[in-house]
Amino acid sequence: MAHFTVDKEKCNRDGICVAECPTQVIQIDSGEEIPRPTDDFGDYCLKCGHCVAVCPTGAMSLRWLGPEQCMPVNQDLRVTPEQAGQFLRGRRSIRAFKEKKVPRATIEELLRIACSAPSAKNQQPWHWVVVEDPMQVRHLAGMVVEWASRVIQSAPSEAEAMGLTRVVDSWNKGYDRVCRGAPHLIVAHADKNWPFSTEDCTLALSLLDLYAASLGLGTCWAGYLYRAVNAYPPLFEALDLPPEHLAFGAMMLGYPRFRYPRIPPRKAPRVIWK
């Protein structure tokens, strides 16, 4: 069966699908011809759907994806640079949460947006654990503190560099510096042997983070937690992660208790212009 079909009537031979294909597996033999797959199409197509999505006339259909299955881009929803600038600068890490749960449907939408992140070779390698139960989040934070106490004993300089003593001291005084009392936790995990799992999961969590802000939700990277997941087998098992995976990021999630009326400054770009 053909890898893709091209509607001859609709195709205007503009070559856009050829120019945009990331792996050059679409070719046009002469100006009059319609695009056709290269001989190695099956080996190298990333299944990114770009050829279908970019075709201005909707002429291109992959075996598994037609133009009608792609969401149209609504130009009325384009954000202005001013909106984007304020939104991106105004995103904050939130560490004080309301005691209110986020509906599952909202978390599902966050994950769908996260899954639209770029990923190396379009592998989309991310998997998710969503801890919905606030008591379970607290339990996991306690396990991170257990791990931190062990690192303080076994590798004091490493513990010092990570600030683990303060994490344990705070916990003993009743304050959770691991999950900050967030009602939910989202962990991204992926194959430990895929060389781009770190970047891919980070990017997916970053989109989740931004979309959460647009919904008025609060998020914060749970750095101690995912470091502990990969280093402390009881925590890894508590999250039911497959043995061939590692956690590549984790995010606290909930409704923020406070709003930021100002945006704190950040370092100016340090650049070498060539």
Site residues for ligand FMN per CB under 6 A: 92-93, 95, 180, 220-224
CB of 211 to ligand FMN, least distance (A): 15
Nearer to ligand FMN, 26 or 213 (CB): 213
Could you tell me where the beta strands, DSSP code E, fall in 76-191? 127-131, 184-191
CB of 206 to ligand FMN, least distance (A): 9
CA–CA distance, 155 with 160 (Å, rounded to integer): 9
Q: What are phi and psi of 144, to 5 degrees?
A: -65, -40
Nearest to 177 by CA among 81, 96, 71: 96
CB of 46 to ligand FMN, least distance (A): 28
- Our measurement of the distance from residue 272's CA atom to the centroid of its chain's CA atoms, rounded to an integer in Å, reads 29
CA–CA distance, 173 with 97 (Å, rounded to integer): 19
Nearer to ligand FMN, 22 or 90 (CB): 90
Angle at the Cα of 93 from the Cα atoms of 92 and 94, rounded to 5 degrees: 105
Nearer to ligand FMN, 60 or 168 (CB): 168
Nearer to ligand FMN, 26 or 182 (CB): 182
CA–CA distance, 113 with 264 (Å, rounded to integer): 27
Residue with tokens 């989202």: 186
CB of 208 to ligand FMN, least distance (A): 13
**Phi-psi region at 240: left, alpha or beta (left = phi > 0; alpha = psi -120 to 50):** left
Nearer to ligand FMN, 164 or 220 (CB): 220
Nearer to ligand FMN, 3 or 95 (CB): 95
CA–CA distance, 197 with 45 (Å, rounded to integer): 20
CB of 36 to ligand FMN, least distance (A): 45
CB of 112 to ligand FMN, least distance (A): 22
Taking each helix axis from N to C terminus, what angle separates 134-154 and 164-172, rounded to the nearest 10 degrees?
130
Report the amino acid identity of residue 111.
Answer: L
